[in-house]
Amino acid sequence: MFYDRAFLAGLIIGTWALIKLLEEFLPDKALYYLPKPLVLYAVIVFILAMLVHTIWLAIAQRRKGFFKTKFETSSDQIPVISQYPSIDILVAVHNEEKVISSTIENLLELNYPDFHIYIVNDRSTDSTKEILDKYASLYPKKIKAFHRMNNNSTGKAAALNFAINQSNSNLIAIFDADAKIEKDFLLKMVPYLEDPMTCAVQSQKRVSNPNVNYLTKLQENEYCLDNYLQCGKDVIEGNVELRGNGQILKRDILKRVGMWDEEALTEDLELSTRLIVSGYKIRFCPEAITLEQAPVNFRSLVLQRRRWAEGSLRRYLVNLPKIFGVAKETSLSQQFDSFVFLSQFAVPIWIFLDIVSEIVRYLKDQQTHLTSLMLISFSIWIITWVNLIFGIRIYRKFSWRTSIKRALETNLYLLSVWPLIVLVTARKVLFSRTKGKWHKTERYNETS
């Protein structure tokens, strides 16, 4: 915890303060070719990196044919591999009585020669236990249910670590309690794992309840952006990440890197980074789709995204030397990918700090640079908008005109919520002695 706080302060606030000191103490002659404020030039470097990243992903995916939604027309041409190994499906549940029955029924319909389902009940207080016992008795050769009611180690990561020790197969599929997939999901995913250095494959994630309200529609567009970025990272061999739902991992590699971290706020992102810095590849499978429920109210959304942001930032603080250090296992593409990702945290914080600084300068009747800050913010807005347009166009199959309109709406939502979440997350990491808490996303029965 102290390491996270000290490291984050040094990276962002310390660097920003150093630039400010240079501005004040360097002689005017030295600043002649680099006018004030110097901090803006540092922010511009981040923005240029984001712009190059956007162009690189777009060109790479266009060359692969994804702008023609290639994967949508190739679903009937599933690659043939030498064998389809046994797969163990792990599902960790906590108070999931509203959705777990439909999820189990959905998993039982999978068209795959050899799979078994392991469900771990983690301290549920509703009727989840009775539902799991019912299905375990109906399908004793297919489903095993375990109940962890009085354990010191709780949470999804602990439940998955327990479940994997009860299973046998080398391929481990992970689903959340609200997951919905197509019958040929596993058939589409398994071929991606033939490469010995590929440790895992992540499917598309989409929203199962986009029509509940305007907020869930925006989240569906946001998920399309994530899929677009994940697919681009896969093409350029960057940092594809596990999303905690709809993924397959190799047991032997998973045990080699130490299983899931039970202390992590986002066990999937933490594991992704640990696998990448260990020299393994994670692939993205655009042909396979996992549906999950999106938060239906703003409070639940903010709690979920704040946890994601904090967990994501903390895993980078721990692994930063392994990504950029001398003994790194990461490629140049992965390092650049990580730099661009960290820019999404650094830029909002730096802009906030500079706005405060400019307000102080204004109150002291000194020259301000608020116009430059506005231009920088606008540049970030445009870069995000372009990525959203491509993501919505490809994954929702809308026309360019509709994609531009939907991307505009979603961009306003993202850039209203994300800077606030980043600032709150930074405050939590810097000044709190405890990590954030896990908050369960509210579920509901979509068939009722």
Question: Is the N-terminal amide bond of 37 cis, ω within 30° of 0?
Answer: yes
Let me know if residue 370 belongs to a domain. yes
- Selection from 261, 357, 331 nearest residue 37 by Cα: 357
Residue whose tokens read 């930063």:
320
Mean pLDDT, the chain, rounded, equals 84
Q: Which secondary-structure segment (H or E) carries 283?
A: strand 281-292
Predicted confidence band at 73 (pLDDT cuts at 50, 70, 90)? very low
Let me know if residue 119 belongs to a domain. no
- pLDDT at site 389: 95
**Structural tokens at position 105:** 């029924």
- How wide is the angle at C-alpha 65 spanned by C-alphas 62 and 66, nearest 5°? 80
**Residue 212 DSSP code:** S
Give residue 428's identity as a one-letter amino acid code: K
Predicted confidence band at 402 (pLDDT cuts at 50, 70, 90)? very high
Query: Pairing between strand 198-207 and 247-250?
Result: antiparallel
Beta strands in 136-236 (DSSP E): 143-148, 171-175, 180-181, 198-207
Query: Pairing between strand 115-122 and 87-93?
Result: parallel
CA distances from 147 to 107, 151, 154, 187, 277 (A): 20, 10, 12, 30, 34
- 251 Rama sector, left if φ>0, alpha if ψ -120 to 50, beta otherwise: alpha
Q: How many CA atoms lie within 13 A of 253 on its CB side?
A: 24
287 compared with 66, residue with greater pLDDT: 287
Let me know if residue 385 belongs to a domain. yes
> Count of domains in the chain?
1
- pLDDT at site 420: 86
Percent of the chain residues past pLDDT 90, beyond the cut: 44
Residue 330: Cβ within 10 Å count: 22
- pLDDT at site 184: 92
Residue 310: which domain range? 1-68+195-448
Which of 7-21, 251-265, 340-354 comes out lowest in average pLDDT? 7-21
- Selection from 204, 241, 209 nearest residue 224 by Cα: 204
- pLDDT at site 76: 46
**Residue 93 DSSP code:** E
Predicted confidence band at 332 (pLDDT cuts at 50, 70, 90)? confident
Residue 123: Cβ within 10 Å count: 16
Let me know if residue 141 belongs to a domain. no
d(CA 92, CA 268) in angstroms, rounded, equals 13
Let me know if residue 176 belongs to a domain. no
- Selection from 291, 287, 290, 289 nearest residue 75 by Cα: 287
148-193: pLDDT as tens digits? 887 666 788 999 999 999 999 999 999 999 999 999 999 999 999 9
d(CA 246, CA 290) in angstroms, rounded, equals 5
pTM, two decimals, is 0.87
Asked if 81 contacts 111 with a C-beta cutoff of 8 angstroms, the reply is no
Let me know if residue 247 belongs to a domain. yes
Sign of the CA dihedral running 391, 226, 341, 428? positive
Let me know if residue 83 belongs to a domain. no
Predicted confidence band at 77 (pLDDT cuts at 50, 70, 90)? very low
110-146: pLDDT as tens digits? 999 899 999 999 888 889 999 999 999 999 999 999 9
Let me know if residue 378 belongs to a domain. yes
